Chains A and B, each alone.
Chain A
């Protein structure tokens, strides 16, 4: 059964997007990326250390993955746009995971600036995937300005609190005209299953794998979870009932 995941005309066989940060070491990160089956992995853009520099992340990844640079940490549209432009120059990709933070403690998106920056980046030829609020109106505005997907948060970045508002995520999925990627808040495999069952097209995970007691095993769990959730979504869940409905035949009971 083929079930490709397409963003802006690019087809992926994996519906799991994985981050490259917060792993115990580089070896574990590489093992996890492989175990996750991810094809698209995120990176940040940072000032180079002027006191010498080590091997590049990109060299370490060895061309096996498509990189999705982010604008993590940016709090103004101006800085986010410049970061995206630097990423395009450094990585020769016009894809960007647009993050515009409105509160440094909550890392919640600043919707006003996000929509403005997304609009400008689309005009400049970028394929924009914005990390955004779990709000159907924000998601629609981002799709309207030409974003290639939306990435609503399940809960706060790095919190592991799962999907705080499943009804909102389900609404977004049912109305969105672009792919929906659940981003942020995933704590364990069942959160990823739920995201896919709610109708998300893909899931983005970093901390839940990297900071797990056994990251390699969690990467494999996330891969299986995303696949299971997608299959269940396509299959369709049975309706919820208030009362029991026997599964064994009711005729021919012993003693009847």
Chain B
């Protein structure tokens, strides 16, 4: 199905947030990550159960340097 991941539309086989992170080589147990789908934060504890749907807008973020 097609998703928007960090602003880029692409075909994705992953069915959950955890699978999506795994498929990108991001260890879902990495600290300080946060995920939102369609403007709502998905708690870390829900990453393995939260399913992805067609056209979902996914944001995967972490802290960076800032002022």
Alpha-carbon gap, A35 to B24, bound state (A): 39
| B1-17, CB < 8 A from A | 5-8
Classify chain A: how many residues form its interface, as a range: 35 or more
Per-residue CB proximity of B46-67 to A under 8 Å, as 1/0?
A: 0000000000000111111111
A89 touches B34 (CB 8 A): yes
Please judge, given known A-B contacts A58-B32, A86-B34, whether A72 and B66 are in contact too, CB under 8 Å.
yes
- State the CA gap A48–B60 with chains docked (Å): 6
Which of chain B's residues have a CB closer than 8 A to the CB of A57? 63-65
* Interface size of B in residues (CB-CB distance below 8 Å): 27
Given contacts A47-B6, A58-B32, A91-B32, contact A42 B67 (CB under 8 A): yes
Does A164 lie at the interface of the complex (its beta carbon under 8 Å from any beta carbon of B)?
A: no
Is the beta-carbon distance between B36 and A48 smaller than 8 angstroms?
A: no
Inter-chain contact total with CB atoms closer than 8 Å? 107
A44 near B64: Cβ-Cβ < 8 Å: yes
Closest to B39 in A: A82
Q: Does chain B have a CB within 8 A of A53?
A: yes
Q: What's the nearest-Cβ distance from chain A to residue B60, in Å?
A: 5
Contact of A56 among B5, B6, B63, B67 (CB under 8 A): B63
A29 within 8 A of B: yes
A58 to B34, CA, bound (A): 14
What residues make up the interface of B, taking CB atoms closer than 8 Å to A? 5-8, 24-26, 30-36, 39, 41, 43-44, 59-67
